Amino acid sequence: MGAYRSTGEFQRDQRYITTRITADGRDGYPVEPGRYRLVVSRACPWASRAIIVRELLGLQDVLSMGVCGPTHDQRSWTFDLDPGGRDPVLGIERIQDAYFARFPGYERGITVPCVVDVTTGQVVTNDYAQLTLDLSTEWAQYHRPGAPQLYPEHLRAEIDEVNDVVFRDVNNGVYRAGFAGTQEAYSAAYERLFARLDWLSQRLSTRRYLVGGQLTEADVRLFTTLVRFDAVYHGHFKCNRHKLTELPVLWDYARDLFQTPGFGDTVNFEHIKRHYYEVHRDINPSGVVPLGPDLSGWDLPHTRADLPS
């Protein structure tokens, strides 16, 4: 996942396979219905982005999806949810098999989400940030009627700007707090995280969505961290100044998204909690998974529809 600087600061390994699937096939992988399989885990926030975007855009019939279980060992994620522990389309037990099929001896992170070429069994990309943008742009001809424009050209500069600070301070910020190796590194990450959450609360107090008055990629990326906040980040990662439920604007905003088709119906809180508490034994040596928090509040009414959109 990452390493530590001498200061004790967590540093995420961001060396991904940057091959792209495009409409013109310039990297050797043209957009083609049925050719590719998106591999995810519902536990992983980075994979959850791809699950949500695929649902919102209506790409289920052209891009199949394999789901790994919530836990993994040092080797890789496994298809332990499927009969016989084997993906029914790819025929493999571990996603590492698709990585090694293209790159024998692959030494970087074997991560989800990734996209596998079904015709060869080889991984194409695990560049999660570009992957969802390409689903919005390169796969446009296969979007469902009325699908949202999650990355419209006239808003891309602002979306990119918001995504950059949200990734640095929130999406990755919770990890920088949770995996900090020193008190100083933890304190810095903690302060940065909650300063950005305060900034987001102020921004969202007068608008329903983050950018341009419409649902965009920026909302998807923030949501996958917010939906995990009380279940894992507040306790497990020591991000405990406030719970999400104690931040009125962000809690209302998160419920609005959760209740939007394609968001909450893709979330599995059991998988989320099991992943963080069972896999991160350096933080939680016992592997005991907490029974809380009470998650019934996600279905409570919100007031976001009254804001400008």
Domain ranges of the chain: 2-142, 153-306
**114 annotated active-site:** no
Sign of the four-CA dihedral 191, 196, 201, 206: positive
Q: Residue 165: is it exposed, middle or buried by C-beta count within 10 angstroms (0-12/13-18/19+)? A: middle
Residues in the annotated binding site for glutathione = 77
Out of 3.40.462.40, 3.40.30.10, 3.40.50.620, 1.10.443.10, the CATH code matching 2-142 is 3.40.30.10
Catalytic residue among 36, 128, 151, 175: 175
Cα-only R_g, the chain: 19
For residue 49, give the nearest of 217, 253, 279, 292 by alpha carbon: 217
Distance CA 201, CA 19 (A): 36
The strand pairing partners of 40, in sequence order, are: 67
Say how far apart CA 280 and CA 287 lie, in whole Å: 8
CATH class as words, domain 153-306: mainly alpha
Residue of 29, 36, 44, 233 marked catalytic: 44
CA distance 11 to 58: 35
Size of the chain, expressed as the number of residues it contains: 309
The region, left, alpha or beta by phi > 0 then psi within -120 to 50, assigned to residue 246 is alpha
pTM, 2 dp: 0.96
Reading the block at residue 82, the tokens are: 């499927």
- Residue 36 known to be catalytic: no
Distance, CA of 122 to CA of 96 (rounded, Å) = 10
According to the model, what pLDDT value does residue 1 have?
59
Beta strands in the chain (DSSP E): 2-4, 10-12, 36-41, 64-68, 114-117, 122-125
Binding site residues, as ranges?
Answer: 77
Per residue of the chain (309 residues), give pLDDT as tens. 555 455 788 887 888 999 999 999 999 999 999 999 999 999 999 999 999 999 999 999 999 999 999 999 888 899 999 999 999 999 999 999 999 999 999 999 999 999 999 999 999 999 999 999 999 999 999 999 999 999 999 999 999 999 999 999 999 999 999 999 999 999 999 999 999 999 999 999 999 999 999 999 999 999 999 999 999 999 999 999 999 999 999 999 999 999 999 999 999 999 999 999 999 999 999 999 999 999 999 999 999 998 987
What is the residue type of 12?
R
